[in-house]
A and B are shown apart, each in its own frame.
Chain A
Amino acid sequence: MAKRIHIEQIKKTFPGVVALDTVDIEVPEGEFFTLLGPSGCGKTTLLRTIAGFYQQDSGHIHIGDTIIDKVPAHQRDIGMVFQNYAVFPHMTVAENVAFGLKNRKVPAADITKRVAKALATVQLTGYESRTPDQLSGGQQQRVGLARAMVIEPRLLLLDEPLSNLDAKLRIQMREDILDIQRQLGITAVYVTHDQEEALVISDRIAVMNFGKVQQIGTPWEIYRDPANEFVATFVGSMNLFTGQDMLSFLDSDSRPSLLVPENKKPEEYRTAFRPEDVRILLPGQPTPPETIAIKGEVAKALYLGADVIYRVKIGEGQILTVNEYISEHSDFREESTRVTVCIPKSKLLFFAAGDGSRLRLGG
């Protein structure tokens, strides 16, 4: 039942906007694939095009070996979970889940069995005769999930299913969704603007912006090896400085030690590094090899329990963010403490100042 899907060169324009600009994605059978991006990036448009609510201007959608471009939405056999649950308010929980089965003329006895099984999967056994207004948001979304998967669709689409839930429930539900997807072995395409959610839940992620796919990769690749400045800054937090600024932060004698992209003047690139890659040196500690050191002053210390975020003032009023895990070796630095931070050279990323494309060292 689960199928590989192939989005082939899809283009879609709305009056005045290019919503999808030649999107090309392949999702193998059983994969949990996420479309991640800010609002208006085209991720929801793509999902709705797959569901059949929009017709693409050009390109093809393959499910398994069939092209479904001309198949109307009600015949696509694709399950969908909606952002606002879209649970039918005039039906009970059981009727909601049975709706898709009834449309498929499944015999009544089978319907009862399959509804019971689906509700058990989402832990809503006993809620059969409740109406949606008696359910919490999380429970309603479970009904939405049960309703979508009970029809055993070829593909499961999830359109920001957790964005209306509160933070704690969101964390619990995303794991439940992942468990259910693994259990059923269903191919899933998930849309979210929450980068943390995307990293946690996905096998692979497509980061989108302005209707274009910026990068496709595993969460690890997306986070550690971003293809461009947009991906780098959208996923996780990032320190980002112009080439000139970066050079100005360094002592004149350590400047040559900063590796820079070949044939690039400082104004032609930007340097980026993750806050967790920055270390604050203990007083008197020498600069470790293969790192660059910058002097500064703690402007703010934000204590989060397991870790601390420091905003360190460097250069002429610029701020560098450090995210330090608390261990027995680390001190808590008060505000106004003068510190030296060091960044491993291997963790520095470079992006072209013009288009934000990634510049690799040494070619």
Chain B
Amino acid sequence: MLNWLRKNGFWSAVTLGGFIIFIILIFFPVFNIVRESFYDAETGKFGIGNYITFFTTPYYMRALLNSVVVSLGGTAGAILLGVPLAFFTTRYRIRGSALLSTLATLALLTPPFLGAYAWIVMLGRNGFLRQLLMTLGINFPTIYGPLGIIIVYSLQFYPFVYLLTSSGLQTVDRSLEEAAENLGARPLRKFFLVTVPLVIPSITSGALLAFMLSLANFGTPMIIGARYRVLPTMAYNMYTSEVATRPAMASTISIILVFAASLAIFLQRYAANRRKYTSLLLNRPVVLRLKGYKNLAVHAVSYFIVALSTLPIVVVVVFAFRNTSGPVFTKGFGLDSFRRVIFDVPQAITNSLIYSITAVVLIVIVGTLLGFVISRRRNTVNGVLTTLLMSPTFYREQYWVSGLARPSTGLLYCMEPLR
């Protein structure tokens, strides 16, 4: 070992380590899911039987369609919320825009199921908002079902569209918009014929992220999906169901999800690549100070969007302080829930901390070493390593779904022989 190190140097060892990491953490699990997806659950025969079953059974196709519908819906919602917010905050003087931007990003940091949970508290069958509306004589629909999922996705994922679009908008050369104006384009015409086409790459990358995260999302449809099945929940049920576990089919579904996501990535790359605009000399866009009702409207829309997406977080925070009796919320506020979490299940907190700190330390050390090797020692081997190590970004979320559905196909799979 020491001899090898002396001969090949430390950095070769880092490269080698990179390959080992790839094989253990990326290649093996994925390979196993792929392999498993080709095995027939009953006969153990190798073949594309699972895929044929998937594409010929209405039950599965329905779930695929459902997945696509809620994901596209969520993406559309994310665009509808994210693009106007990005435009208003980059082009107009908005009071408290720094706060808005922070709150919008906050939605990204909350765990995916938290939003769904908060919406149940608000608009579930006994949700407080819904009951409030009941007393006013309005029978507001519950959050359960596809529409609810789409709303939660939109609010959860619009920050991606918002963040990418606003950075795109900030790099649109001011002169282009001025030229449009100078050539007689009214503000709306200028926006749709010049500004929007120029930030299409940014909008679509944001939309792609929203789409992929929606497609792979498991928590939200699990909590508020009710009978509305999507692929991730189906894969999960197949694995955990006590009656009939079908791990092979679960793997098939995971692979199909990866495929759907790859298709989306491909489409986005195609759309964005044909439109790559770089500017010779960048004149930063001007931030306009609006007056009167326009100013009011722009502020109202921006604050409404951000408030709506922050609402679930506020609800969760408020409910964390509410007193409970068993599973039921009772009157009054207190720190009782916190006390229970800290004293009754302290393990949960320490576990979270230990895992995340360990992960961060590992990420920093491994990431720095590999990053250095890849950027400073450019050669074919390191080039291949970059591509391989970056590949999980393609199926990150699907990978997570699969990991959840089948922990043994994740890292644990490789650990099994060690135990």
A51 contacts across to B, CB distance below 8 A: 178, 182
Annotate B255-292 by CB proximity to A: 1 below 8 A, 0 otherwise. Answer: 00000000000000000000101011101000000000
CA distance in complex: A84, B277 (Å): 14
Closest chain-B Cβ to A239's Cβ sits at a distance in Å of 36
Task: Please provide the chain B residues from 101 to 139 with a CB less than 8 Å away from any CB of chain A in the complex.
Answer: none
In the complex, whether A100 has a CB less than 8 A from a CB of chain B is yes
Task: Please provide the chain A residues from 30 to 79 with a CB less than 8 Å away from any CB of chain B in the complex.
Answer: 51-53, 73-79
By the criterion CB–CB under 8 Å, are A82 and B175 in contact? Answer: yes
Closest chain-B Cβ to A276's Cβ sits at a distance in Å of 35
Q: Out of B178, B184, B275, which one reaches A151, CB within 8 Å?
A: B184
CA distance in complex: A348, B264 (Å): 75
By the criterion CB–CB under 8 Å, are A82 and B280 in contact? Answer: no
In the complex, whether A183 has a CB less than 8 A from a CB of chain B is no
By the criterion CB–CB under 8 Å, are A89 and B283 in contact? Answer: no
Q: Out of A76, A84, A103, which one reaches B173, CB within 8 Å?
A: A84
B181 contacts across to A, CB distance below 8 A: 52-53, 73-74
By the criterion CB–CB under 8 Å, are A85 and B280 in contact? Answer: yes
CA distance in complex: A84, B275 (Å): 19
A88 contacts across to B, CB distance below 8 A: 176, 179-180, 194
By the criterion CB–CB under 8 Å, are B189 and A84 in contact? Answer: no
**Beyond A84-B283, A103-B189, is A90–B277 a contact (Cβ under 8 Å)?**
yes
A84 contacts across to B, CB distance below 8 A: 173, 175, 279-281, 283
Closest chain-A Cβ to B394's Cβ sits at a distance in Å of 28
Query: What total of chain B residues lie within 8 Å of the partner, measured CB to CB?
Result: 25
Closest chain-A Cβ to B187's Cβ sits at a distance in Å of 8
By the criterion CB–CB under 8 Å, are B178 and A83 in contact? Answer: no
**Beyond A82-B175, A84-B173, A88-B179, is A74–B186 a contact (Cβ under 8 Å)?**
yes
CA distance in complex: A144, B183 (Å): 11
Q: Out of A77, A82, A89, which one reaches B198, CB within 8 Å?
A: A89
User: Which residue of chain B has its CB nearest to the CB of A97?
Assistant: B183
A78 contacts across to B, CB distance below 8 A: 182
In the complex, whether B24 has a CB less than 8 A from a CB of chain A is no
**Beyond A86-B173, A89-B277, A90-B197, is A53–B178 a contact (Cβ under 8 Å)?**
yes
CA distance in complex: A120, B175 (Å): 25
In the complex, whether B185 has a CB less than 8 A from a CB of chain A is yes
**Beyond A82-B178, A90-B197, is A104–B277 a contact (Cβ under 8 Å)?**
no
User: Which residue of chain A has its CB nearest to the CB of B185?
Assistant: A103
Closest chain-A Cβ to B311's Cβ sits at a distance in Å of 37
In the complex, whether A234 has a CB less than 8 A from a CB of chain B is no
Task: Please provide the chain B residues from 164 to 194 with a CB less than 8 Å away from any CB of chain A in the complex.
Answer: 173, 175-176, 178-187, 189-190, 193-194
In the complex, whether A237 has a CB less than 8 A from a CB of chain B is no
B182 contacts across to A, CB distance below 8 A: 51-52, 73-74, 76, 78-80, 148
Q: Out of A79, A99, A147, which one reaches B185, CB within 8 Å?
A: A99
By the criterion CB–CB under 8 Å, are A86 and B184 in contact? Answer: no
Q: Out of A90, A103, A137, A164, which one reaches B184, CB within 8 Å?
A: A103
CA distance in complex: A73, B189 (Å): 14
Closest chain-A Cβ to B182's Cβ sits at a distance in Å of 5
CA distance in complex: A89, B279 (Å): 9
**Beyond A88-B194, A103-B184, A103-B189, is A73–B279 a contact (Cβ under 8 Å)?**
no
B279 contacts across to A, CB distance below 8 A: 84
Can you report 17 residue pairs joining A to B where beta carbons are below 8 Å apart?
Answer: A74-B182, A74-B183, A74-B185, A74-B186, A77-B184, A78-B182, A80-B178, A84-B279, A84-B281, A84-B283, A85-B280, A86-B173, A88-B194, A89-B277, A99-B183, A100-B184, A104-B184
Extra inter-chain contacts (6) besides given A83-B175, A86-B175, A100-B184, CB under 8 Å:
A53-B178, A74-B190, A79-B182, A86-B179, A137-B280, A148-B183
Closest 3 CB pairs of A and B: A100-B183, A86-B175, A103-B184
